Structure 1
Amino acid sequence: MVSYNFSEIEKKWQKFWNEKKLFAAAGDGKRPKYYCLVMFPYPSGKLHMGHVRNYVLGDVFARFYRMKGHDVMQPIGWDAFGLPAENAAIKNRIHPEKWTRDNIKHMSSQLRELGISYDWQREFATCDEQYYRWNQWFFIKMWEKGLAFRKKARVNWCPSCGTVLANEQVTQGACWRCDSTVEDRELEQWFFKITAYADELLSGHEQLKDGWPEEVLLMQKNWIGKSSGAEVDFTLVSDGGAFNSAIRIFTTRPDTLYGATFMVMSPQHDFIAGMKPEIKNWPQVEAYIRESDKKSFIERLSDEKEKTGIRLEGITAVNPVNKEKIPVFISDYVLMGYGTGAIMSVPAHDQRDWDFAKKFSIEIREVIYSPQSDISKQAWEGEGVMVNSGNFNGIQSKEAVAKFTGWLEDSGLGKKAINYRLKDWLVSRQRYWGTPIPMIHCDKCGIVPVPEKDLPVTLPTDIEITGKGRSPLAESAHFEKVKCPSCSGKARRETDTMDTFVDSSWYYARYCDPRNEHLPFDPEKAAAWLPVDQYVGGIEHACMHLIYSRFWHKVMRDLGLLKSDEPFKRLLTQGMVTLGGSAMSKSKGNIVSQDEIVAKYGADTARLFILFAAPPEKQLEWSSEGVEGSWRFINRVFRLVEKMLDPAIRARIDAEERSERRTKEMSALRVHIHRTIKKVTLDIEKEQQLNTAIAAIMELVNALYSYPYLGDDVSRQAVETVVELLGPFTPHVAEELWERMGHTGSLMLTRWPEPLEEYLKEEFIELPVQINGKLRGLIQVPSGISESGLRATIEAEARFRPYFGGKGITKFIYIPGKIVNVLS
């Protein structure tokens, strides 16, 4: 028997695919299109098995739809700008471009070794001048439309990275890249006005609800944070009367205005400096402000830390509804970037205000009564009846919001308003390895965009990257000094670079026309391919990349480049690959190298394990035993084909007389073939549960090993079906076996098998599943399912896995048609 030489087979078919250009998308409109995209990789060095999962998942869909007759585009590129390259340059004293290009070269070869069916003709890196010139073009177009602007703002500053971070890039008070504690600073920065699209980013979820995980949509909804309420003007007054000014607050609970017993302002509020002469305890207030400046916004918003604050002695606020003077505090839990930078505080009906009031001995006044409330112990945040609220007494609180808002508007004391948690996207970065911002500062003309004919503004090479001090581009002898495009006078080029999330916000559209030198892409070509049919990437990008790219897509639409409203029709968020309970990471030293696994077992084994070990959206714990199991299965399929092709076996089967038993066996196998086709097709196309699809193929292989007439026509059809169904999962071995079975050409060009309805008519039964003595659910299976088939189905069901306690099945008891009992 010929052994399975994976190294020889995989090289053979990779060469064949490349020479025949079988993965090149035609884009000619002759077939239905299918655009499959995995979030493009950052070229950080070498791929490990945690990375492999992403790319293999996408490849299954791409290969499946090719066999379904679609014109498939599955492109690849490199998210190449970013801090790791710059840090590597500092550490190793090499240029970040060399580090990046070397990594791209190695990772490209790794992806080819995996047999990922990429259209390599569309490849680009975001550090290519031909790519980032269009980042600059978009920046200028947004500037012209008022969507790009510059302002002084409180920002998150990472002292280790030496750059500003967007809110989305701060995790629990730390930098998302290096985990350093983030500081609060005020700097002139560039922003994109993403808030102009806040409502559409929310309403667009209606289009996405059938194709995106509900969890991602909820995360985005909460991040955008639309709140309906009212803006109300209080009056700030000083004891001596020298200061008297209206201050606007936003509240979602205007019905509680009568319960406002103090006001809290952000320590960075502009009014504070103006009130300085009237604040009697200014030295203490100033010290508090300095301490607040050292904290990140995440630290300041934490519910876990004790609330701090200081009263502005000599200043009071006048509540507009009852003219009552209330004390004014500053506290670091109020931020200038949220609402108006000042809040009315109603301690009886907001727990955070209640805690603050208790600490500073401030009155707690009940204005919503409920028999369940006890404001001496905690705030009552539920509904009830209005009390201590003037003419609104006796009204149900849920009705009072609208009545209060109407009364405020009629009285000229406030107005209905909508507020958003989402803030404009801060895109300035004080780093080198990114897209230079294409703007020029002129003392006479102000800020002027670089003329389009002068794009791209390229990165200077005459600087030493240290990671410290001001923007590295400012260190270049020739980069910063420039003539103003408007008046030809002396001017300064902008030295900040763009957030690298800009690069990934529109790359999917560039793939439609990656060599266009006149536009980011041809609108007609983009219309033919977009939106992306299947996008694959981690859920950690829900409130960064996936919001930014949706925003950018709408901007491109409004610039006349696109016709669609959303970039990605369907989204799969894959789970992490873990080792020892933690996600694989170079920094943690718990990675398994792709090179190591492919050298020992081959690419198909690596692919099969990654796809079979867990549902795509769930965490996958690395298992050497699981890899061995996948290796054994591929060898088992290989031996099955060789056995079926053995002329002696075929001759013996042909010589046997057809019996009633044989007829029944053949009929049962035909049913199994077509039910497997249907199961695998649904699991890929609709359910995206690739592990259960593989389990179904394994069950058919088991049935073939038990089939006593292997070599007859029915078994040959079954074996060919196994090979066809394995095509998207283990493409190299599937191609090899397809050829050995006498077929010419590529399996990839063969049409995906279709199940025949006549073989699908079987009754199903519902069985209770008991695991370790407890009923854990019901499972619906064909009435004639084998014990091995039932076991495989239960093992593959994600809902039963937690009850195995991380162990395998040690005992499996099946009472046909009645119950399943599993011990682990």
Structure 2
Amino acid sequence: MERSYRPMDIEKKWQEIWEREGVYSAEGSGDKCYVLEMFPYPSGRIHMGHVRNYTIGDALARFLRMKGKKVLHPMGWDAFGLPAENAAIKHGVHPAKWTKENISYMKKQLQSLGFSYDWSREIATCDPEYYRWNQWIFIKLYERGLVYRKEAEVNWCPNDETVLANEQVIDGRCWRCSTPVVRKEVPSWYIKITDYAERLLEDLKLLEGKWPERVIVQQRNWIGKSEGAVLKFFVGDIPIEVFTTRPDTVFGATFVVLAPEHPLTLSLAKKGGKIEEVETFVKKMKSMSSRERGIQEEKEGVFLGVYAVNPANGEKIPVWTANYVLYEYGTGAIMCVPAHDQRDYEFAIKYGLPIKPVIKPLEGEPPKDKAYEGPGVLINSAHFDGMDSQSAKKAITQWLKDKGLGDFKTTYRLRDWNISRQRYWGTPIPIIYCERCGILTVPEDQLPVLLPENVSISGHGNPLAQVEEWVNTTCPKCGGPAKRETDTMDTFFDSSWYFLRFCDPKNEKEIFDKNKVNKWMPVDYYIGGIEHAVLHLLYARFFQKFLYDLGLVKDVEPFQRLITQGMVLKRWVSVEKFLEFLGLSPEDSIESLKAKISELTL
């Protein structure tokens, strides 16, 4: 027996044997167990964050096999995305070539590490036989009224002629070319995930004790269910609808604020003779992303020059527009009660607006230098005086509803999912536009709609829109000339159901055999970063529920248990700390250090 261990020779030999003999195949006897780590983007190299994630899954998979379980432990590639296009621009290489070379290199790295994957089930989302089923899912969503097209205000780079994600806007400029970003209305495709908001929220109860509590809390907050009322504040005969969770404070509303993007903002400013200064303010706000506005501490606003009638007491109160109100939340308009809302309080103090208390604390006196936001007893509220604030919410809403000035309302923070991306390296959206027949989905027997290979990626405009021979097509209904949709899908679409395809990865006739899926699902252990607590995990839960509604899966939740492994951060460790870890001191000899390291590596 050789005394030295030569990993390059020994490990390669046995890894080839294990691969050839299918040692890690998911077939076999025993109870099933599906172990899955979040699959990587093929960026070119495996990093330590990957290794930590995959080591946890590998150790778990090996342990379960030794316990007699039949383990499914697959690996694949989240292969579409913007980095491939950036590489095409920088290095002059086609995104497909760049991606496939990266996959090949990273796969060899994973194999050399000896992870126990069933590579016979490998998938890549850029493979037409995968994204074909993305398009099929889109069509099914469309057929059930869960997909629609509308003009959406987005971050737009005038130089690159493309939409930018919030994260790609840095100090109001394009991250790539530093051109000032503007807000622009662009036609986009949306998925009505909001139709599933209540189910997504309610089914979190099924995951309690199985998922990390903070992930559940983040999802619950992202969905953001709020129960309250919609109230009408009239400017002449024009109603401004506001949503509030505190209808008990309506008698204390001393002004109304509209989001800069609200359809009434400019028209009311014109009515009030304030159009020039309001237009300047709105333009400034539109140059900022929602995220940038959300983290602004300074409250800014402009008076629109008009007054609305408080529906509770008939008082005329000023209407403003301000940076701290976002159009995508609620109705895009709020009633402002500075005595009982801190943001409104800060705005009122800055602009000298009235502050009228209508809630008296149950004990003690309200604070003098900030808003009192707690419960209490109503004051200055007409015939509701003396009522506790919780009871008053329902009573006041019903009273205003009877007068035609309000109604009970449940809203969600969750918004519909914009999946349109003006990029090349993604799944083509299977839509055809015909002047005679309108908007049509591509027939299923014509899927997949393949990405054209002869494309020029310059960073300016939508690459697909420039490939005329691909854009120009035939209407599947009338046979006349038509055009394809040139947007591609958000890459989160690709990763929202890949765990199901692993159960039947070679199926060419259907998205998967539901018997095979029901044999393996749900995923028993899903391992990945907590940064995916919302978005990926929420979208995956939504897809699972939609496919459940189609009768294709038996489980309403895709992941039984979730393990979030934390992040690997680069940090320098001093020599003293390293020696302390080994149980040594700087006075110990080199021989002692060598002996300790040898001891640890045997």
The verdict on a shared fold, with TM-score over 0.5 as the criterion, is yes
- Counterpart of 1:2, as a letter, is R
Q: What does the per-residue CA deviation read over 1:355-390, in whole Å, with 9 as the maximum and x for residues that have no partner?
A: 111111111000011364446411111122210001
Match of 1:463 in 2: 455
Partner residue in 2 for 1:402:
394
Deviations 1:279-316 (A, max 9, x none): 212111111111111011012222x4311111111x21
Determine the structure 2 residue equivalent to 1:222.
Answer: 221
SS in 1 for 2:148: strand
For residue 228 of structure 1, what is the amino acid of its counterpart?
A: E
1:474 is aligned to: 465
* AA of the residue aligned to 1:498: M
Q: Does 1:442 align with 2:434?
A: yes
Q: Give 1:46 deviation, angstroms.
A: 1.4
Query: Does the 8 A contact of 1:351 with 1:379 survive in 2?
Result: yes
What do the CA deviations read for 1:428-470 (whole angstroms, capped 9, x no partner)? 001110001110122232211111111111111222101122x
Q: Matches of 2:206 and 2:80 in 1, distance apart?
A: 32
Give the Cα–Cα distance (whole angstroms) in 2 for the partners of residues 42 and 199 of structure 1.
31
Please give the alpha-carbon distance, in whole angstroms, between the structure 1 residues aligned to 2:497 and 2:437: 31
Partner in structure 1 of residue 577 of structure 2: none
| SS of corresponding position for 1:64 | helix
Tell me, yes or no, if structure 1 residue 496 matches structure 2 residue 497.
no
Q: Partner of 1:577 in structure 2?
A: 568
Kept in 2: contact 1:383–1:397 (CA 8 A):
yes
Alignment of structure 1 residues 125-524 onto 2, 5 Å: 125-157=124-156, 163-164=162-163, 184-237=183-236, 244-275=237-268, 277-302=270-295, 304-313=296-305, 315-370=306-361, 372-374=364-366, 376-469=368-461, 471-524=462-515
Q: Contact 1:192–1:424 (CA<8 Å) still a contact in 2?
A: yes
Give the aligned residue type for 1:502: F
* Deviation sequence 1:563-591 (CA, Å, 0-9, x none): 10011111111111122279xxxxxxxxx
Distance 1:355 1:11 in 2: 66
Distance 1:439 1:369 in 2: 58
Q: How does 1:114-125 map to 2 (within 5 A)?
A: 114-125=113-124
Structure 2 portions without partners, runs of 5+: 574-580, 583-592
Q: Which residue of 2 aligns with 1:726?
A: none
Question: Shift in Å at residue 10 of structure 1?
Answer: 1.4
TM-score by length of 2: 0.92
Question: Helix, strand or coil: the match of 1:578?
Answer: coil
Name whichever of 409-418 and 273-282 sits farther off. 273-282
Cα offset, 1:408, TM superposition: 2.6
Structure 1's 581 and 430: CA in aligned 2 closer, same or farther, altered over 3 A?
farther
Residue in 1 aligned with 2:20? 19
Kept after mapping to 2: 8 A contact 1:440/1:447: yes
- The answer for the alignment partner of 2:519 in structure 1 is 528
- Structure 1 residues 171 and 400 mapped into 2: Cα distance closer, same or farther (>3 Å)? farther
C-alpha distance 259-225 of structure 1, shift in aligned 2 (>3 A): same
Question: Displacement of 1:182 after TM fit?
Answer: 6.9
**Structure 1's 233 and 154: CA in aligned 2 closer, same or farther, altered over 3 A?**
same
TM-score by length of 1: 0.68
CA distance in 2, matches of 1:331, 1:487: 50
Question: 1:533·1:570 contact (CA, 8 Å) conserved in 2?
Answer: yes
> SS in structure 2 opposite 1:204?
helix
Partners of 2:518 and 2:554 within 8 A in 1:
yes
- 2 CA distance for matches of 1:116 and 1:631? 25
Corresponding position of 1:86: 85
Does the 8 A contact of 1:133 with 1:455 survive in 2? yes
Report the Cα offset of residue 24 of structure 1.
0.8
For 1:460, the aligned partner's letter is P
Partners of 2:135 and 2:274 in 1: CA distance: 49
Counterpart amino acid of residue 25 in structure 1? A
Asked whether the 8 Å contact 2:265–2:304 carries over to 1, the reply is no
SS of residue in 2 equivalent to 1:94? coil
Give the length in aligned residue pairs.
583
- For 1:126, the aligned partner's letter is T
Q: State the SS of the aligned residue for 1:505.
A: coil
Instruction: Describe the superposition over 1:511-566 as per-residue Cα deviations: whole angstroms up to 9, x where unpaired.
Output: 01011111111111100011101111100011111111111111111112111001
Aligned CA distance change for structure 1 residues 629 and 301 (closer, same or farther; 3 Å):
farther
CA distance in 1, matches of 2:124, 2:594: 36
CA displacement 1:134-181 (0-9 Å, x = unmatched): 1011111101111111111222447798644667x6799899998989
Distance 1:173 1:540 in 2: 23
* Aligned counterparts of 1:114 and 1:633: Cα–Cα separation in 2: 22
CA distance in 2, matches of 1:494, 1:407: 50
> Is the contact between residue 170 and residue 182 of structure 1 (CA under 8 Å) also seen in structure 2?
no
Q: What does 1:743-782 correspond to in 2, within 5 Å?
A: none
**8 Å contact 2:189–2:418 — kept in the other structure?**
yes
Q: Distance in 1 between matches of 2:161 and 2:213?
A: 36
AA matched with 1:116: F
Distance in 2 (CA, whole Å) between partners of 1:416 and 1:442 is 42
User: Rg: which structure is higher?
Assistant: 1
Seen in structure 2, the aligned counterparts of structure 1 residues 466 and 170 have a Cα distance that, compared at 3 Å, is closer
Q: Identify if the C-alpha distance between structure 1 residues 462 and 5 changes in structure 2 by more than 3 Å, giving closer, same or farther.
A: closer
Q: Distance in 2 between matches of 1:344 and 1:397?
A: 17
Q: What residue identity is the alignment partner of 1:364? A: I
CA distance in 2, matches of 1:630, 1:467: 54
Distance change in 2, residues 1:204/1:288 (3 Å): same
Q: Is the 8 A contact 2:162 2:460 kept in 1?
A: no
> In 2 relative to 1, CA 161–531 (structure 1 residues): closer, same or farther, beyond 3 Å?
farther
Tell me, which stretches of 5 or more residues in structure 1 are unaligned? 238-243, 583-611, 614-626, 637-824
> Which of 510, 533, 551 is matched with 1:560 structurally?
551
Q: Secondary structure at the match of 2:35?
A: strand
Structure 2 CA distance for aligned equivalents of residues 444 and 274 of structure 1: 36
Task: Rate the CA distance shift 1:425–1:160 in 2: closer, same or farther, 3 A.
Answer: farther
- Quote the offset at 1:495 in angstroms: 0.4
Q: Structure 1 residues 630 and 514, CA, compared in 2 at 3 Å: closer, same or farther?
A: farther
Distance 2:100 2:375 in 1: 61
- 2:578 is aligned to none
Cα pair 2:266 2:278 within 8 Å, conserved: no
User: Matches of 1:306 and 1:555 in 2, distance apart?
Assistant: 42
Q: CA deviation at 1:402?
A: 2.2
**CA offset at residue 254 of structure 1?**
0.3
